Amino acid sequence: MTTAPGNGLVQYFCQHLVGLGVTYRHIPDDDDKPERFSICSGTLIFIHGVLCFLTAGHVLKELDELRSHPKVRIESSAFADTFGLRTISDVPMPFDLVNADLFYVDDDGEGLDFGVIAIDPHFARLLSKNGVVALSEEQWAHQHRVTFDGYALLGLPTELTPGRVTPGVGASATPVMVFLTPATADPNRKPRRHAQFVAKIDGPEPKSAEGMSGGPIFGFRIDPGPEVRYWVVALQSSWDPVTRTIYATPMPTLASLMTEWASEAIKDATT
């Protein structure tokens, strides 16, 4: 898997972007064809001191179904941590998706769409060496006190990712950052129990937000002086292609729930 170079701004924020790439075959139909390839957008987050890969719940659900399908053979999988400015290795980190424990929530009525994969400490060190920065509680604990001046979504759109592995070259993925304008949900859309982050994609590109599910959404605060501060405010979930409106799970919501569930699991395991 290779990654296309982006501009400096995109590469800077790519310290928070990790893709999970998978090569696979539909058997026996694909036995004499190049491997199929897909990659999902995600980021890293600490939950109770454990480093986890965080992406949309429906993405992990689809991967779970893919790996258990009787007519699909997973050939390889890897974490692509090669998009940022501080990257020291351009080789994605192999990862055993077939045997990994996946935890995900994909509940449209609740307005919740997120999932995690716990990362072994050895692999966590490798990701850190390659310049990937994980989210911690300070990123979400006090967001309610911040007034943001702008927003942007970072991810790996499917339209820029070939669906097949090119013989002798491999697979590729291209990170894209798009700016967002806060919006209100479609009045005909059924309300969700948990409030969602809603915004419209500025501009005509990318043509589709498919593949950007699980990508981090940044909120920017421009204070007097040269520094622009930012927070990861939400995780991309779905979008309306007609209105170019995206719907996302707020980071304080998903992080608080995961921390609560992890605390309960630890308590149950010790009693």
Asked if residue 146 lies in contact with residue 221, where contact means CB atoms within 8 angstroms, the answer is yes
Identify the pLDDT of residue 4: 41
User: How many Cβ atoms sit within 10 Å of the Cβ of residue 172?
Assistant: 18
Identify the pLDDT of residue 5: 41
Domain assignment of residue 113, given as a range: 7-269
In what helix (H) or strand (E) does residue 167 lie, and over which residues does it extend? Answer: none
**CATH code of the domain containing 248:** 2.40.10
Positions in the chain whose pLDDT score sits under 70: 1-7, 226, 271
> Under DSSP, is residue 10 helix (H, G, I), strand (E, B) or coil?
helix
Looking at the domain assignment, is residue 1 inside a domain? no
The backbone torsions φ and ψ at residue 74, rounded to the nearest 5 degrees and listed phi first, read: -75, 120
**pTM, entire model:** 0.92
User: How many Cβ atoms sit within 10 Å of the Cβ of residue 118?
Assistant: 14
Rounded Cα gap, residues 104 and 254, in angstroms? 11
Identify the pLDDT of residue 124: 86
Looking at the domain assignment, is residue 256 inside a domain? yes
Looking at the domain assignment, is residue 2 inside a domain? no
Number of domains into which the chain is organized = 1
Q: Which residue has the tokens 């965080």?
A: 54
Residue 19 tokens, joined: 């893709």
Torsion from C-alpha of 89, 1, 124, 260, nearest 10 degrees: 140
74 bridge partner residues: 24
Evaluate the omega torsion of the peptide bond into residue 28 and state whether it is cis, within 30 degrees of 0: yes
